[in-house]
Structure 1
Amino acid sequence: MLRLSCLFALLASSVAAETLVATRTVRAQTLLGPEDVKVIERTIPGMLSHLDEAVGLEARVSLYAGRPIKPEDVGPPAIIERNQIVTLIYRRGGLTIAADARSMARAGVGDSLRVMNLASRSTVTGIVRQDGAVTVGGPDLSLYN
């Protein structure tokens, strides 16, 4: 029984988890390709572990060669730039109002974004849609349309 438990302990320790690291220094706002990241045989809790978790996404911060990549270090590519004029859509029940707004930051599809309504100068937070509009108010069933 002792030998069996030792064998299981050895097998468990020989299976290494993987961690994703940058292969070179990558500047923030750069789309990540397969040449920018690699998987190493090392366990670092809370870090990305597979290539598909980062490839095609945008670096939100600078990534340094050999350093592990955290989930919050990458995100969907930005489709809205800071100070860009966007369409602000307010939905509540059957009511829909559209207005022009200025974005306060960069954002990608599904990101939360603060925008300033150009007519009222009020600042609101909404969700970026695939078409580049920002929706506030009630649930938007066409979020990704």
Structure 2
Amino acid sequence: MRALILALALMPGAAAAGGLGAARTLPAGSVIAAADLTVIDTDRPGLTDPSAAIGMQTRITVYEGRPLHANMLRPPRLITRNQVVRLSFQRGALRIDTEGRALSDGAAGELIRVMNMGSRSTVSAQVMSDGTLEVIP
């Protein structure tokens, strides 16, 4: 990624460029890679730091050549609505693992509602970086 930042900084006209744009049309839900970015010359404000966009997911379709804005991006979703997930509860030495059904999408660190498949009760759980859910007591 440092090589991309350096290459973007050394490109002719990079100092006058308005920011980052899409190198190709990015459908909603796409995770942005370095190859998806290009420097564009625009007077419209937008993102200028590639590290702010790489690894993020698009909320909407971003067309080729359009500037990228922070409100177009979100952290990648690890959990999707109606997905069957592993649900864990831990308190002291007690650990309970069961299956649940996600009631909304969720990215790492977010709280979402999950239905316990065994009891049919709804609980709040935090999305962990490995895609599992930890019940919040």
The answer for the alignment partner of 2:33 in structure 1 is 33
Q: Secondary structure at the match of 1:67?
A: coil
Q: Name whichever of 21-30 and 101-110 sits farther off.
A: 101-110
TM-score, normalization: structure 2? 0.66
Q: Secondary structure at the match of 2:123?
A: strand
Structure 2 CA distance for partners of 1:122 and 1:67, relative to 1, 3 Å: farther
Amino acid in the other structure paired with 1:126? A
RMSD of the TM alignment (CA)? 2.9
Task: Check if 1:127 corresponds to 2:126.
Answer: yes
The answer for the alignment partner of 2:6 in structure 1 is none
Asked whether the equivalents of residues 101 and 114 of structure 2 are also in contact (C-alpha less than 8 Å), the reply is yes
In structure 1, list runs of 5 or more residues that go unmatched: 1-14, 139-145
Q: Distance in 1 between matches of 2:75 and 2:25?
A: 19
Map of 1:69-84 to 2, 5 A cutoff?
69-84=68-83
Asked whether the equivalents of residues 124 and 136 of structure 2 are also in contact (C-alpha less than 8 Å), the reply is no
Asked whether the equivalents of residues 91 and 137 of structure 1 are also in contact (C-alpha less than 8 Å), the reply is no
TM-score, normalization: structure 1? 0.63
1:16 Cα deviation after fit: 6.1
The answer for the alignment partner of 2:12 in structure 1 is none
Amino acid in the other structure paired with 2:77? A
The answer for the alignment partner of 1:143 in structure 2 is none
Structure 2 CA distance for partners of 1:89 and 1:25, relative to 1, 3 Å: same
The answer for the alignment partner of 1:50 in structure 2 is 49
Q: Distance in 2 between matches of 1:105 and 1:81?
A: 6
1:94 Cα deviation after fit: 5.9
Q: Distance in 2 between matches of 1:64 and 1:25?
A: 4
In structure 2, list runs of 5 or more residues that go unmatched: 1-14
Alignment: residue pair count: 122
Map of 1:101-112 to 2, 5 A cutoff?
101-112=100-111
Structure having the higher Rg? 1
Q: Distance in 2 between matches of 1:19 and 1:91?
A: 46
1:98 Cα deviation after fit: 2.8
Q: Secondary structure at the match of 1:35?
A: helix
